[in-house]
A = this chain, B = another copy of it.
Amino acid sequence: MIEPRTLKGFRDFLPEAMIPREQLIDTARRVYRSYGYSPIDTPVLELLEVLQGKGGEESDRLMYHFRDHGDRAVGMRFDLTVPLARFAAQHIGVLGTPFKRYHIAKVWRGENTHRGRYREFMQCDFDTIGTESVAADTETVLVVHDLLQAIGISDFTIHLNNRRILNGLLAQLNLADQSGPILRALDKLHKIGADKVAAEMAATAGTSDEQAHQVLALSRVSGTNDEILAQLEQLLANNETGMAGIETLRAILRGAAAAGVESARIKLDVSIARGLDYYTGTVIETFLDRLPEIGSVCSGGRYDDLASVYTKERLPGIGASLGLDRLLAALEELQLIEKTATTAPVFIPYFDRDRLDDYLKLAAELRQQGLGVELYPESRKLAAQLKYADRRGFRFAIVAGSREFEAGQCQLKDLRAGTAQDLPLDAAQLATVIRSQLV
């Protein structure tokens, strides 16, 4: 006999965990689709050289890769961005631009499993490829906004930055070629403080005191969005790149306001950078006001060129990704997830052995009224069946035996409220009553 178990770093999803996952994925799809993003899918396995791209040892070490039956070096995708780049390079002629796609699928990374990391997880990405218009930036922010709202979270803040602001400042200070070490130093600001960051910049990027002071001035920019914009304009008055970044921020704020987004939902935040090299313009992170410590639940940004490893065609774009597992953990902590192990609201106990066909008929008629119905498959004692219904989390039970079938009556039990009422055995009437009580 073989011991039934999962691999370390992998997990099963039982119904109680899978039902809210499916619901969240459904909501993401619905919101993505409402903006005209279309679904695509790509293979889990790709040629190793395609997945490696210009990625270095890091991706190699994390990637599940092996030789297939034809002795080809193959790997399991570790994100959805590399497959999108390959896909776009291969099909863009057919797809045309702008191309808006979503892709909700699993990826695998052979990482260490300490700190609760899993080796298999779901990504929920959406991207707009082939345009540099700020309309796409604004829309990306709107999708994030609508998504959080549709999930049922009202108190969240979208942090917005533009990488051209720092780039502009560095150019203005003649430090454009030192952006790597400077970003790495700035990234430690919260941990080690301004003095040590200045010291590190001097050591690794050769900054003067004045240069370090100016760079750190950017991290002191704060206040309302309008105040931040005013401070940034002062800092970057003479720099075209920086001013373009500021103008993009302004345009996104204007567009989001026009689309009805409350101003408190978007906060300019020059401290977010998201990936030192990848993003080139707009950068987005999203925090839950009641759980900021879990980090960003939806992040993304603009990139200059998606697929330069695979094609000479330049493919700029912008996109973001919903952190499904993180968000589910947050929803659980905020008690926004209703625990249930069933997908159907109505349970029919089968307790009169000779009436199976009547139960099947009643269940079918209720389904035709649009209600999910589970019929217990065996004629057992009513109490045992109702205990099963309670454990599963059904909301209603419709109880009928021979006497009730003959009288055209039944009992509708509200299993949550613990109440019951006698009703005519009529699917349309039952459905009306049930729907009026299903909140």
Contact surface of A with B, Cβ cutoff 8 Å:
1-8, 10-15, 18-19, 21-22, 29, 32-47, 49-50, 53, 64, 66-70, 72, 74, 76, 86-87, 89-91, 94-96, 98, 100-101, 106, 108, 110, 119-120, 128, 131, 133-136, 138-139, 142, 146, 251, 254-260, 307, 309-312, 341-344, 347, 350, 356-361, 363-365, 367-368, 371-378, 388, 391
Q: Is the CB of A69 within 8 A of B13?
A: no
Which of B15, B138, B260, B310 is within 8 Å of A1, CB to CB? B310
Closest B residue to A387 by beta carbon equals B96
Would you give the shortest CB distance from A139 to chain B, in whole angstroms? 7
Q: Given the interface contacts A36-B372, A64-B68, A258-B358, does A108 sit within 8 Å of B5 by beta carbon?
A: no
Main secondary structure of the interface of A (DSSP, over half): mixed
Contacts of A310 in B (CB 8 A): 1-4
The 10 A-B pairs at the shortest CB distance, nearest first, are namely: A36-B374, A66-B66, A15-B38, A258-B357, A10-B43, A259-B364, A33-B343, A36-B344, A4-B90, A4-B310
Contacts of A309 in B (CB 8 A): 1-2
Can you give 23 contacting A-B residue pairs, CB < 8 Å?
A1-B310, A4-B86, A11-B43, A12-B41, A12-B91, A13-B40, A14-B40, A14-B91, A18-B38, A18-B41, A21-B39, A36-B373, A43-B120, A44-B106, A44-B108, A45-B119, A64-B68, A69-B110, A131-B377, A133-B377, A135-B350, A251-B356, A258-B360
Would you give the shortest CB distance from A57 to chain B, in whole angstroms? 14
Interface centre among A29, A37, A38, A53 (most CB of B within 10 A): A38
Q: Is the CB of B377 within 8 A of A139?
A: yes
Q: How far is the CA of A147 from the CA of B230 in the complex (A)?
A: 60
Which of B70, B135, B365 is within 8 Å of A360, CB to CB? B135
Q: Is the CB of A89 within 8 A of B360?
A: no
Contacts of A138 in B (CB 8 A): 356, 360
Closest B residue to A30 by beta carbon equals B372
Contacts of A251 in B (CB 8 A): 356
Q: Is the CB of A6 within 8 A of B40?
A: no
Would you give the shortest CB distance from A374 to chain B, in whole angstroms? 3
Contacts of A98 in B (CB 8 A): 376-378
Interface centre among A91, A350, A371, A377 (most CB of B within 10 A): A377
Q: How far is the CA of A251 from the CA of B74 in the complex (A)?
A: 51
Copies in the complex: 2
Would you give the shortest CB distance from A380 to chain B, in whole angstroms? 10
Contacts of A307 in B (CB 8 A): 4
Contacts of A375 in B (CB 8 A): 36, 135, 139
Closest B residue to A97 by beta carbon equals B388
Q: How far is the CA of A188 from the CA of B100 in the complex (A)?
A: 51
Q: Is the CB of B255 within 8 A of A12?
A: no
Q: Is the CB of A374 within 8 A of B35?
A: yes
Q: Is the CB of B64 within 8 A of A39?
A: no
Q: How far is the CA of A35 from the CA of B38 in the complex (A)?
A: 30
Which of B70, B139, B360 is within 8 Å of A142, CB to CB? B360
Q: Is the CB of A259 within 8 A of B360?
A: yes
Which of B38, B50, B87, B376 is within 8 Å of A342, CB to CB? B38
Q: Is the CB of A373 within 8 A of B2?
A: no
Contacts of A371 in B (CB 8 A): 34
Q: How far is the CA of A19 from the CA of B409 in the complex (A)?
A: 45
Q: Is the CB of A72 within 8 A of B128?
A: no
**17 new A-B pairs (CB below 8 Å) besides A33-B343, A34-B372, A138-B356?**
A2-B50, A2-B309, A8-B70, A18-B38, A21-B41, A35-B373, A36-B342, A36-B343, A96-B391, A98-B377, A135-B359, A135-B360, A139-B360, A258-B360, A259-B361, A260-B361, A260-B365
Contacts of A4 in B (CB 8 A): 50, 86-87, 89-90, 307, 310-311
Would you give the shortest CB distance from A270 to chain B, in whole angstroms? 24
Q: Given the interface contacts A1-B309, A309-B2, does A95 sit within 8 Å of B14 by beta carbon?
A: yes
Q: How far is the CA of A68 from the CA of B341 in the complex (A)?
A: 34
Contacts of A45 in B (CB 8 A): 7, 10, 64, 108, 119-120
Contacts of A41 in B (CB 8 A): 12-13, 18, 21
Contacts of A64 in B (CB 8 A): 45, 66, 68
